[in-house]
Amino acid sequence: WLFYARLLQHGELQFFAEARNYFRFHERTQRSRAIASYTAFDEILAMYTIFEREGWTDTKTLQSARAQVAMWWAGNVFSMKWTWDVLRNNVRLFGVFSRYRSGLLSYLVKSALIKSAGAVVKAMGLKEPVKKLAARLFPKTFFPY
């Protein structure tokens, strides 16, 4: 993201959004990098700092964007690698993101409880029956696969 923002900033390029009618899967995406580590979030925050410094967008839009990325981080934090470096940097990112998104700590606690309950269900060998039950009870929300 940061490279792309700098390329648009310093190059003579323009971005034109074009609607796609299908989902394209790529092996190496920003999402897969973010799930593996914290560095993608640092890049996005650096990009927003550039936007703020250059005055490319208003404060309200930046606040909203940072809050959205905070929730993206919170949704991925428990799927990241479990190393001291990642843990230390996730604590740092929590400090940054909690300034932009209220209720972040309670969201993380709820996510940890849900993730733990899922691990227990999986360890007990009940994942498939629970998925099928959820799909029957909530057909528009859960899918049996």
In whole angstroms, what is the distance from residue 77 CA to residue 37 CA?
A: 8
Same domain, 57 and 111: no
- For residues 27 and 77, membership in a common domain is answered with yes
CB 71 within 8 A of CB 102: no
Same domain, 13 and 81: yes
Q: Which residue has the higher pLDDT, 9 or 139?
A: 139
Q: How many CB atoms lie within 10 A of CB 128?
A: 12
Assign 90 a pLDDT band (cuts: 50, 70, 90).
Answer: very high
Answer yes or no: do 90 and 80 share one domain: yes
Please state the domain count of the chain: 2
Place of tokens 């993730």: 115
User: For residue 111, what are the contacts with CB-CB under 8 A and spacing of at least 6?
Assistant: 74, 75, 77, 78
77 shares a domain with 25: yes
pLDDT band at 71 (very low <50, low <70, confident <90, very high): very high
Cβ-based burial of 119 (10 A; exposed 0-12, middle 13-18, buried ≥19): exposed
Q: Do 90 and 80 form a contact (C-beta atoms < 8 A)?
A: yes
Q: What pLDDT, in 10s, does the model give residues 24-64?
A: 666 666 666 666 778 889 989 998 998 899 888 899 999 99
How far is it, in rounded angstroms, from Cα 130 to Cα 122?
10
User: What range does the domain containing 84 cover?
Assistant: 2-101
Q: Distance from first CA to last CA of the chain, Å, rounded?
A: 32
**DSSP single-letter state for residue 20:** -
**The model scores a pTM over 0.85:** no
